[in-house]
C-alpha cells in the first residue's frame, strides 16, 4: 500500500485510478527462478533476476520474437535507479548478462523508448564504468559525497542525452558503501 500512496501522490489521474485500491490479493501462482508460460503457441519465460533495481527484478522473454521486457533493469537513455537497500551493481550486472544471453532482438524497458540489445550493453558499460570510477576515487581518499558529485558531473557529460542524471548521485554513494 506504500506504493499505492506514493503513486497516488504523483498526479490527480493516478490518484483517481488508485482510489479504490484497498489491498492486493494473494497470487495464485508463483515461481522461484523461472517459469515458462504457453499463451496459445507463444512461449513466454518469466525470469527472476534478483536485486538490481528492486528485490524482485523479473525479465519477461518472448521466445519466438526474441523480445525481452527488461523492466527498469535496462532502459533507453535513462540513468538507472536503486530502489531497494539491497540493490547492488554486481547483481545488476549479472542481471544484464542474463538478459544479454537471451540474445534479444528488441528490448522493452519499463520507461522510455524500446530498442535493440544495445540498451543492455549501454547499461552494462555505464555500471561497469561507474563501479571502476568509484573504486578509483575511493582509493584516492575521496569521500562518498565527493565521489558522487564528481561522478554525477562526469556521467552527465559522458551521457548528455540520458534522462535522470541526478540518479547517478545515489548510485555512486551506494556503490561507495558496497565496494572496497
| pLDDT over 90 percentage in the chain | 82
Query: pLDDT grade, residue 180 (50/70/90)?
Result: confident
Res 173: pLDDT? 94
For residue 48, the SS3 value is strand
Question: For 124-142, what is the mean pLDDT?
Answer: 97
Res 113: pLDDT? 87
C-alpha cell at 118: 544495445
CB 47 within 8 A of CB 58: yes
Is-above-0.85 flag for pTM? Answer: yes
Res 158: pLDDT? 96
For residue 5, the SS3 value is helix
Question: For 63-88, what is the mean pLDDT?
Answer: 91
For residue 69, the SS3 value is strand
Q: Work out the mean pLDDT of the chain and round it to a whole number.
A: 94
Query: pLDDT grade, residue 61 (50/70/90)?
Result: very high
Question: For 169-177, what is the mean pLDDT?
Answer: 93
* Residue where the block lists cell 535496462: 74
**C-alpha to C-alpha distance for 80 and 92, rounded to whole angstroms:** 10
Q: What is the pLDDT of residues 18-58, one digit of tens each?
A: 999 999 999 998 899 999 999 999 999 999 998 888 878 99
**C-alpha to C-alpha distance for 44 and 26, rounded to whole angstroms:** 22
pLDDT of 83 > 80? The answer is no
Query: If we measure between CA atoms, which residue out of 68, 67, 69, 73 comes closest to residue 55?
Result: 73
Question: For 63-79, what is the mean pLDDT?
Answer: 95
Res 159: pLDDT? 96
Domain 31-178 is found in CATH 3.60.15.10: yes
Query: If we measure between CA atoms, which residue out of 148, 106, 103 comes closest to residue 130?
Result: 148
Res 18: pLDDT? 95
- Every domain range in the chain assigned CATH 3.60.15.10: 31-178
Question: For 94-117, what is the mean pLDDT?
Answer: 95
Amino acid at each position: 500500500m506504500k506504493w499505492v500512496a506514493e503513486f497516488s501522490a504523483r498526479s490527480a489521474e493516478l490518484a483517481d485510478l488508485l482510489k479504490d485500491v484497498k489491498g492486493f490479493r494473494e497470487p495464485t501462482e508463483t515461481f522461484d527462478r523461472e517459469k515458462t508460460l504457453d499463451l496459445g503457441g507463444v512461449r513466454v519465460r518469466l525470469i527472476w533476476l534478483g536485486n538490481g533495481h528492486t528485490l524482485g527484478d523479473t525479465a519477461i522473454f518472448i521466445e519466438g520474437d526474441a523480445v525481452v521486457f527488461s523492466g527498469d533493469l535496462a532502459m533507453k537513455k535513462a540513468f538507472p535507479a536503486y530502489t531497494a537497500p539491497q540493490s547492488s551493481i554486481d547483481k545488476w550486472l549479472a542481471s544484464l548478462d542474463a538478459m544479454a544471453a537471451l540474445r534479444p532482438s528488441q528490448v522493452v524497458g519499463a520507461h522510455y523508448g524500446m530498442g535493440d540489445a544495445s540498451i543492455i550493453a549501454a547499461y552494462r558499460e555505464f555500471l561497469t564504468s561507474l563501479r571502476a570510477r568509484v573504486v578509483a576515487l575511493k582509493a584516492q581518499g575521496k569521500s562518498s559525497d565527493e565521489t558522487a558529485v564528481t561522478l554525477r558531473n562526469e556521467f552527465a557529460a559522458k551521457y548528455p542525452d540520458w534522462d535522470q542524471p541526478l540518479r547517478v548521485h545515489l548510485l555512486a554513494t551506494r556503490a561507495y558503501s558496497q565496494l572496497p
